[in-house]
Structure 1
Amino acid sequence: MSKMTQHDNFIYLTYSLILLLLGMALAQQFFDPSVQRLMQSATVVTLLVAVWGVKDEQYIFRKAFIFPVAIIFTSLLSYYLDNIDLNYAHLFLLLGFFISTAYQTAKQVIFTGEIDGNKILGAICLYILLGLIWALLYTLIHLASLNAFNGMPDSKLWYETMPDFVYFSFVTLTTLGFGDISPAMPVTRFLVYFEAIVGQFYLAILVASLVGSKISNSSQKQSNETHEANHE
């Protein structure tokens, strides 16, 4: 099996994040809410492998059996933290990890080398990570104050509310604004409209720039090939 590198890691990460979001929805639809722990653990492992692991030449996750072991371990750890009332600490750690991962992704996408298809996929992954970061912020605020959002159940269990906030976050990030969930406090209103602003600027500037650079590089390559052919 070939090793994942920075030239193809975002291909795998794009598929994984989409499947994980789908898995989160299916878990909420058909299974006990606590199954979300497994989905969260799978997300952590996926990000470790695709974003952080490619920077390590020894790549500790290259052995297939590491995956189920890591998922089980992180699931048990989150269960332990929740049961000793440290769910806030757990979510803050997860938020810090997501922010760090988004930063590492941005460095690979924005500040390195020629734009290619993998970096464009990386831009999509970064967009998804932004939605997940805001979903965690909304979840933390909801746990601190059950009156922070309209349309949310009065639950203090993060794994019961986070899937709804993931949905709400991406609806906000894309400025769809269905209105079934809405902010009820000044702080949450600020976070919501700020996420909408970030989402629009991201799409308008970063993704357009990446696609434009890809087209420009392709045109330049074609022009050079035509120039060389004319001189032969």
Structure 2
Amino acid sequence: MTEQQNRSDLDDDLAQMVIGLGPCTYLLLLLLGLVLLFPFLEGGIYARTLLGILFSIVLLVGTFAIKQTRRGFIFKLGLALLGVGLQWAALWTESLAILHVAGMTYAASLAVSFSGVFRYILKRGPITADKLHGALAGYIMLAIVWSFVYAMVEIVAAGSFGPGQLDFREPGTFFKLIYFSFTTLTTTGYGDVLPLTNHARSLVMIEEFSGVFYVSVVIARLAGLYPSTQVQ
């Protein structure tokens, strides 16, 4: 077999992996849909209801996406259901206190789902489409988890992020933190949202490090896609 044929076979295999389907594929599509639709679903009770449904589905799909032990599954499902319940309670009662608790539960649920996806993509075995999509889904989940962390910091210490005070009763406030988290994780740093206190800056530095670490580990794991070949 020639080197050109080897390369052609590898390209075909990679194309097949990219377009394949799996549980993490649906999780990735939901997360992308959440990011794209979020700005349109913050004003009005009906829009926020749709956003709540989408968030609820993300949590539940994240629970079922990865194979796990029975105990781990029960824990993840319980945490996800608690987050969903608190979210809907906050939505219908319009209670900021319940919403804050729901946010902490959401962050914990997404963090647990992220850890499961991260272990899954690092697991020994062939690289599949599901693992590739899981790597992308994990990256998005990591950014959203950090946005919840920043929201909790801002709630505890108002003025940690700016410019201007962030009011979570106003539509679009939380999405600003999601946007800030993505620009931080990717080290883009546009500078239109800023950490204004030292404790906020310390968390931002950790997120920057976690983003670089995640990408480097995933690249190292996926390097096996192109094994070295020898021309006979």
TM-score where L is the length of structure 2? 0.73
Identify the match of residue 8 of structure 1 among 18, 22, 25.
22
Q: Aligned-pair RMSD on alpha carbons?
A: 3.3
Alignment pair present for 1:26 and 2:40: yes
Q: 2:220 aligns with which of 191, 209, 220?
A: 209
Q: What CA distance in whole angstroms lies between the structure 1 residues aligned with 2:147 and 2:209?
A: 16
Q: Of 160, 174, 189, which aligns to 1:162?
A: 174
Instruction: Look up the match of 2:100.
Output: 88
Instruction: Identify the residue that residue 174 of structure 1 maps to in structure 2.
Output: 186
Match runs of 1:110-149 below 5 Å? 110-149=122-161
* C-alpha displacement of 1:52: 1.9
More displaced stretch, 76-85 vs 179-188: 76-85
Percent identity, aligned pairs only? 22
Q: Which has the higher contact order (CA 8 A, sep 6+)?
A: 2
Contact 2:143 2:181 in 1 (8 A): yes
How far apart, CA to CA, are the structure 2 residues paired with 1:73 and 1:198?
30
- Deviation digits for residues 18-37 of structure 1, max 9, x if unmatched? 11110102335xx4488345
Does structure 1 conserve the Cα–Cα contact (< 8 Å) formed by 2:38 and 2:51? yes
Secondary structure of the structure 2 residue equivalent to 1:114: coil
Deviation at 1:79, TM superposition (A): 1.7
Q: For residue 190 of structure 1, what is the aligned residue in structure 2?
A: 202
Map Cα deviations across residues 182-232 of structure 1 (whole Å, 9 max, x no partner). Answer: 1111111011111111112221x222123312222xx67xx8xx99xxxxx
Query: Judging changes above 3 Å, is the alpha-carbon distance between structure 1 residues 54 and 100 closer, same or farther for their aligned structure 2 residues?
Result: closer
Structure 2: segments with no counterpart, 5+ residues: 1-20, 69-83
Q: What number of residue pairs does the alignment pair up?
A: 201
Decide whether the 8 Å contact of 1:34 with 1:159 is kept in 2.
Answer: no
1:35 is the counterpart of 2:47: yes
Q: Deviations over 1:149-174 (max 9, x none)?
A: 12244414386421110000001101
Q: 1:94 to 1:18 in 2, by over 3 A?
A: same
CA distance in 1, matches of 2:105, 2:198: 25
Q: Deviations over 1:117-145 (max 9, x none)?
A: 22011111111011000000011111222
Equivalent position amino acid for 2:209 in 1: I
In structure 2, give the amino acid aligned to 1:9.
P
- Conserved 8 A contact 1:105-1:126: yes
Gaps of 5+ in 1: 1-6, 57-71, 228-232
Please give the TM-score of this superposition, normalised by the length of structure 1. 0.73
Conserved 8 A contact 1:131-1:166? yes
